[in-house]
Amino acid sequence: MLIKLQNVYKIYSEGLEAEVRALDGINLEIDYGEFVAVVGPSGSGKSTLMNILGCLDVPSHGSYWIDGVDVNERSDAQLSFLRNKQIGFIFQSFNLIASMNALENVELPLIYQGIAPAKRQALAMEALGRVGLAQRSHHRPSEMSGGQQQRVAIARAIATKPPIIMADEPTGALDSKTGREVLSFLQGLNREGSTIILITHDNSIAATAKRLVRISDGRIVEDKRQEVSWA
């Protein structure tokens, strides 16, 4: 099992009157090679779930294993290493660093891996090539369209060739055509063996995933596998 959550809670202001249970006892297992859409309305806790799955946040209670290793027992350095090696993030707002050009943005996770400049640049260019932006490697984010920026972000996520891709509303800031392109790119990655976890509020997008996990008020209310026909 790649990912296993057991009784995971994320509670803000715990014990106070204003207590908020963003995650309220989540049990979830995700296997290698799955394409999971976590769907739910805003405020349902789906982003909190992704933050915990991506080791960007820690659960208040409960256990979480990635690849059989308990995340709670890991140090900051180990978690950073895990985020760097195992997970590629794609965010709704792209989260590129504005002062760096496309190539430098894609290189960044490789820098933190300590890869030598020449090899790093080759890997980053390869990733940019895969998203069709090799020619724009020296453009800054501000010089690119939203769709292009998201493709740079995807290139950054796949540059380290991580087994897991986590995408939080990756099409949310894009028009429907570019959104579809991003989706089919994710599907392509899944075909090549990557595990994709896609967070969305959009049912039509969730309908294209092989597995749909519906979340509401911090609880999983539906978990089903669905037949999909990807182009």
Contact stretch for another protein (CB under 8 A) within 23-31, 83-91, 206-214, 222-230: 83-91
Check binding of 134 to another protein (CB under 8 A).
Answer: no
Check binding of 72 to another protein (CB under 8 A).
Answer: no
Check binding of 135 to another protein (CB under 8 A).
Answer: no
* 87 three-state secondary structure: strand
The b-or-e profile of 70-94 (16+ CB within 10 A means b, else e) is ebeeeeeeebeebbebbbbbbbbeb
> In the bound complex, what is the minimum distance in angstroms from residue 109's beta carbon to another protein?
4
Confirm if 206 and 169 have CB atoms less than 8 A apart.
Answer: no
Confirm if 130 and 158 have CB atoms less than 8 A apart.
Answer: yes
* Burial (CB count within 10 angstroms: exposed 0-12, middle 13-18, buried 19+), residue 178: middle
Total of chain residues touching another protein, rule CB under 8 A = 27
Contact stretch for another protein (CB under 8 A) within 28-36, 84-92, 125-133, 223-231: 84-92
Q: What is the DSSP letter of 214?
A: E
Check binding of 83 to another protein (CB under 8 A).
Answer: yes
Residue of 63, 65, 74, 85 interacting with another protein (CB under 8 A): 85
* Burial (CB count within 10 angstroms: exposed 0-12, middle 13-18, buried 19+), residue 108: middle
Check binding of 142 to another protein (CB under 8 A).
Answer: no
> In the bound complex, what is the minimum distance in angstroms from residue 182's beta carbon to another protein?
18
Residue of 60, 63, 95, 178 interacting with another protein (CB under 8 A): 95
Q: What is the four-CA torsion angle of 24, 219, 216, 227, rounded to 10 degrees?
A: 150
Of 95 and 216, which CB lies nearer to another protein in the complex structure?
Answer: 95
> In the bound complex, what is the minimum distance in angstroms from residue 116's beta carbon to another protein?
10
Check binding of 118 to another protein (CB under 8 A).
Answer: no
Helices 102-112 & 146-159 angle (0-180, nearest 10): 20
> In the bound complex, what is the minimum distance in angstroms from residue 47's beta carbon to another protein?
9
Check binding of 97 to another protein (CB under 8 A).
Answer: yes
Helix H or strand E encompassing 142: none
Check binding of 76 to another protein (CB under 8 A).
Answer: yes
Confirm if 65 and 3 have CB atoms less than 8 A apart.
Answer: yes
Residue numbers at the binding site for another protein (CB under 8 A):
51, 54, 56-58, 76-77, 80-81, 83-85, 89, 91, 95-97, 99-100, 108-109, 111-114, 156, 160
